[in-house]
Amino acid sequence: MTKIEPLGAVRERVTSELRQQIIAGSLLPGDRLVERELAERFGVSRVPVREAIRSLVAEGFVHFETPRRSVVRRLTPTDVKELFELREALEVYAAGLAASRATPEALAEVRDLLDRAAAATEAADAEAITDVNSRLHDRIMAMAGNSLLTEALEPVAGRLRWMTRRNEEWPQLLVEHRELYEAIASGDPDRARAHALTHVRTNYRSTVRHLFGEEAP
């Protein structure tokens, strides 16, 4: 017998695939999401596609130009500025906590991620770089040991990954992540916060430059 996939699982699968296509750039800002075409592509009914689009609207990846026309969202300089302001507030604080609370096991996991990031950077593998760098930041948030910090960043984590995916200054990112790791491993919260602040602001300027071809204020 053919196993029937639950509607909720279908919706999550379609949402995840569309989100990844937007982050990777397969779907570009301004591209229209047509329910009928997407349903045919995924081999599903239009109901889970419609629900997936609504989920992506809530996440900030898509917006409705009209009640019947949904498109991939066009990011504005204000969008980027506001998201990086939030990232600065949360990640800088988390880095200080991580320096105080990191265990040898957690630090070893970050070193392993840095090794993977170095290999991906050497191979110029954009998808792998984006994935491992996101996991590295997730690990630092986990080392902070504050679940509310993680929950506060979670609603915008996908959009931040979408933005930073456009930044292809990968060797510089690797250098910054190594410096951030060393600062956290030192056990000095002030040093960790300072490196985290520099990293977020440098990444903000790079993202603005790559997205809009201009320098950030």
Measured distance CA(17)–CA(122) in Å, rounded? 27
Q: Cα(89)–Cα(95) distance, rounded to whole angstroms?
A: 11
Distances (CA, A) of 130 to 36, 117, 149, 153: 31, 9, 21, 17
Q: How far apart are CA 124 and CA 129, in angstroms?
A: 8
Measured CA to CA in angstroms, residue 86 lies from 81, 83, 198 at distances of: 9, 5, 15
- Specify burial of residue 78 (Cβ count, 10 A radius: 0-12, 13-18, 19+): exposed
Q: Which pLDDT does position 216 carry in this prediction? A: 66
Residues constituting the chain: 217
Predicted local confidence at residue 201, as pLDDT: 95
pLDDT tens per residue across all 217 residues of the chain: 446 678 788 999 999 999 999 998 899 999 999 999 999 999 999 999 999 999 999 999 999 999 889 999 998 999 999 999 999 999 999 999 999 999 999 999 999 999 999 999 999 998 899 899 999 999 999 999 999 998 998 888 888 888 878 778 899 999 999 999 999 999 999 999 999 999 999 999 998 988 888 776 6
Give per-residue pLDDT as tens, 24-42: 889 999 999 999 999 999 9
Q: What is the pLDDT of residues 94-122, one digit of tens each?
A: 999 999 999 999 999 999 999 999 999 99
